[in-house]
A = this chain, B = another copy of it.
Amino acid sequence: MTTQSANSTLDAVKCFAERFSLMLDERATFDAKTPPMLADAIRYSLLAPGKRLRPFLVYECGALCGADEDACFAPAAALEMIHTFSLIHDDLPAMDDDDLRRGRPTNHKVYGEAVAILAGDALVTLAFETLATKTVNREHVASLVVALAHASGDKGMIGGQTLDIEGQKTPADNPPAQSLEAVRQIHSTKTGALFECACRMGGIVANADDDTLERLATFGLNLGLAFQIADDLLDVTASATDLGKKSGKDAKKGKQTFPAVVGIEQSREHAESAVAAAIEAIRGISGDTSRLESLAEFAYRRDR
């Protein structure tokens, strides 16, 4: 990959993030039936600056398989709602106890713990409501709901967060024997599942065939894995200013991460393998896959 194509992909992601945030802002409005405090707490986190990578993947995979742009909004918005819910709940005192997120105070620091829990809860129901009411082709609703529930629930992201939290129960200065398989399992579910779902949903709204859906899913899962490994590496190597959140926290908490288990160099190798697997999967789909390939490279190179 040339630096030029990497930069152009990065520009595309940034442009999309701005555009998508405006769309979310416009459509995530609340009427008098929603308590103003709850609406504020939801909007505070949902409209916070973010990379919008999961929505980007829905649109890119949708476009690759011939979906209309309009068809991508509902699944993209739903995914970002689920992602935002997970950030709010993960930051809670009972979970990761974080004060800072994307450079701003976390939701519970601003609105209190009770409202933060409820705002997270409401984002989950809002995600499914969005799928059911804003999906362009009503015949896609059931498949989209299944994909989202599966990826975000007990078998996916929420399951992964449970494993993550459970893994931290021993004192940080005396971490448990961690296995690579355990870490891979946490990351595949906690991060990989939503990336996989984003790509699959892009295919669903494009009426893609089963083989294509599986290729998109494999691409997304491996991209998510590479992305999470890069995130863990950043936590080790970068400063809080670069991150917009505290760095070095994973190690202090005894979190199970790739760098903690296999070290920095081997973590980079695992990320590279995941990127290679992602690219191999996506190349089996006809059409221009160059931007998705370049995104996979970017996910992993973020820590350089």
Contacts and interface: CB of A to CB of B under 8 A. Distances in A.
Contacts of A161: 118
A133 interface: yes
B152 A125 contact: yes
A263 B95 CA distance: 41
Nearest to A41: B162
A208 interface: no
The DSSP consensus for interface residues of chain A is helix
A259 interface: no
Contacts of A87: none
Interface string A115-128: 10110111011101
How big is the A interface, by class? Answer: 35 or more
A47 interface: no
A293 B47 CA distance: 46
Interface string A131-146: 1110100100110011
17 contacts: A38-B158, A38-B159, A39-B154, A85-B121, A92-B117, A94-B113, A94-B114, A94-B117, A117-B117, A124-B125, A125-B152, A125-B153, A125-B154, A132-B149, A135-B142, A141-B142, A141-B145
